[in-house]
Amino acid sequence: MAELNDIALVTQVAVFHNKSAFDQLVRKYQSPVRRFFLNQTLGDAQLSDDLAQETFIKAYLNITKFRGLSSFSTWLMRIAYNVFYDDVRSRKQTEDIDSLCVLRQFASSGDSNLKMDIYAALALLKPDERTCITLQLIDGYPIEQISKITGIPDNTVKSHLRRGKEKMTIYLKENGYDR
């Protein structure tokens, strides 16, 4: 039913250029999209909001390309993934997203130690590993959905998840997180 509602809203935007229909879509999906960016940028709220805004603008401009082969949320998350990787590529020349300056920012943001340690552990991962890990553990997507969003084959997603969890486990255990 929710899916049908999304398709009806997308049709309103694509055919009648109905901005209030797009407003409803943004309201509905702002939280998962912003949370996705927050996890990818290791908690940088300003950057996350900028990237989320870019995602929604791209979705609006390309809404006629949505064919309904996957759900609207998967299509939107795919755009978000591409926006994030374009940003990572453009930033690589100036600074690395994994650099310590990002972590220092969270150290002063008043987050709990555990949250900071998780961000630190996530920072150890390669961008693809981090994306797969957060999409599975935080956003709760199954492997085939992660594969659709990222365009990475199922088996590669599985190995990213395995390697990512392994690295995080080692780091977190070294920092005293054990059962």
Partner 1 sequence: MDMTDKDKILIDDFFEGRNELADLFKQAAQQQIEDNGFTERVMQNLPEKTVTIHRLSCLWSLFCILVGAGLFFAFGGWQVLQGLFYGGLRMLLGWLEVFAITAPTTEININLWVVLLLLVFVLVFLPYQTYRKLSATL
Site residues, partner 1 (CB under 8 A): 4, 7-8, 11, 17, 19, 22-23, 26-27, 30-31, 34-35, 38-39, 49, 52-53, 56-57, 60-61, 114-115, 118, 137-140, 162, 165-166, 168-169, 172-173, 177, 179
Tokens of 80: 């978000």
Nearest approach in angstroms of CB 42 to partner 1 is: 13
- Between 95 and 166, name the residue whose CB sits nearer to partner 1: 166
- Between 104 and 115, name the residue whose CB sits nearer to partner 1: 115
Nearest approach in angstroms of CB 25 to partner 1 is: 10
Residue 32: count of CB within 10 angstroms of its CB: 18
CA distance 13 to 20: 8
Residue type, 156: T
Residue 61's Cβ-count burial label (10 Å; 0-12, 13-18, 19+) is exposed
- Between 96 and 154, name the residue whose CB sits nearer to partner 1: 154
- Between 144 and 166, name the residue whose CB sits nearer to partner 1: 166
Nearest approach in angstroms of CB 150 to partner 1 is: 19
- Between 81 and 171, name the residue whose CB sits nearer to partner 1: 171
Q: What is the DSSP string of 26-72?
A: HHHHHHHHHHHHHHHTTS-HHHHHHHHHHHHHHHHHTGGG--SSS-H
Nearest approach in angstroms of CB 41 to partner 1 is: 14
Spatial neighbors of 140 by CB under 8 A, at least 6 apart, are none
